[in-house]
């Protein structure tokens, strides 16, 4: 069963940042520059996390993983359109 994860990161080195972004693009939908929404199985989540942790520098970089239940992520407020799309399976109130 797939679960919803919100992944946010702050990577200090440009090369590592690009590598982490590439990994995240394989697993989820970019909704902000350093924020991804992901629908993943537990094994997909563990694989993604392991790959990201192998790239990041634990002393300089930060990555946060939030697992959100369906009722915790609905409704949410979305302001503006920007250039990123939102993840499938989500309803948004666009203002």
Where does 3-94 sit in CATH, by number? 3.30.70.240
Q: Is the model more confident about 29 or about 80?
A: 29
For the chain, first and last CA: distance in Å? 32
pLDDT one-digit tens code per residue, 41-83? 999 999 999 999 999 999 999 999 999 988 887 767 777 766 6
- pLDDT: is 67 or 95 the higher one? 67
| Amino acid 95: pLDDT | 38
Does the pLDDT value for residue 20 go beyond 90?
Answer: yes
Read off the pLDDT band of 4 (50, 70, 90). Answer: very high
The predicted model scores a pTM of: 0.81
> If pLDDT is split at 50, 70 and 90, which confidence band does 94 have?
very low
CA distance 36 to 34: 7
Question: What secondary structure does DSSP assign to 17-51, as a single string?
Answer: HHHHHHHHHHHSEEEETTEEEEEE-HHHHHHHHHH
The ranges assigned to domains in the chain are 3-94
The CA R_g of the chain, rounded to the nearest whole Å, is 14
């Amino acid at each position: 069963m797939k679960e919803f994860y919100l992944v946010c990161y702050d990577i200090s080195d440009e090369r590592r940042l690009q590598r982490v972004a590439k990994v995240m693009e394989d697993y989820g939908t970019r909704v902000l520059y350093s924020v991804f929404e992901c629908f993943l199985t537990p094994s997909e989540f563990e694989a993604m996390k392991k790959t990201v942790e192998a790239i990041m520098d634990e002393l300089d970089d930060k990555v946060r993983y939030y697992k959100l239940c369906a009722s915790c992520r609905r409704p949410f407020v979305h302001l503006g359109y920007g250039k990123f799309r939102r993840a499938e399976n989500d309803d948004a109130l666009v203002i």
